[in-house]
A = this chain, B = another copy of it.
Amino acid sequence: MPYLEHRLTRRVLFYETDLAGIVHFSCYLRYMEEAEHALWRAAGLTIAPPDHSIGFPRVSVTCEYAAPLYFEDEFEVHVRIDKLGPRTIHYAHVLTRGTTKVATGTIITACVIPAPGQRPRASEIPPAIVARLRGDN
């Protein structure tokens, strides 16, 4: 079974709100990342192994805000892998609270091999990770 999408349920925390009484717009990007990492865990993977042998920095993000989120709101983040390239992963996200669309967004990440004291080196995504995300046996 492919792990190419995931649904995360989440509740708004107090410190995520701002003086306008709603969730600060930067937190939506964090919610999107949380759903991405939950997708990896569901596939038996971690985005950040303890040995720091691989990393997935962001290439670009977008977010369109449709409705505010309030303190203690329960909402859902649906994340889907839109494109699984040799060196990049394109994610598409939809945030909903009940039947209300809250936001849509995208994140593009690149695969890198960290090198202590140097800038990370771009790398192809390891086949074992691709296989897990695709749900191959």
Contact surface of A with B, Cβ cutoff 8 Å: 13-15, 17-22, 24-27, 29-30, 33-34, 37, 41, 46-48, 50-52, 55, 57-65, 68, 70-72, 114, 117, 119
**Cross-interface CB contact of A63 among B22, B34, B61, cutoff 8 Å:** B61
Residue in B20, B60, B114 whose beta carbon sits within 8 Å of that of A55 in the complex: B20
Residues of B within 8 Å of A41, CB to CB, are 72
Work out how many copies of this chain go into the complex.
Answer: 4
Q: Check A20–B57 contact: CB distance below 8 A.
A: yes
For residue A58, which residues in chain B have a CB less than 8 angstroms away from its CB?
A: 25, 65
Complex CA distance for A21 and B25, rounded to whole angstroms: 16
In the complex the two chains form, is A14's CB within 8 Å of B33's CB?
A: yes
Known: A30-B13, A50-B117, A72-B41. A61 touches B20 (CB 8 A): no
| Majority secondary structure, A binding face | mixed
What residue of chain B has the Cβ atom nearest to residue A27's Cβ? Answer: B26
Q: How far is the CA of A19 from the CA of B22 in the complex (A)?
A: 7
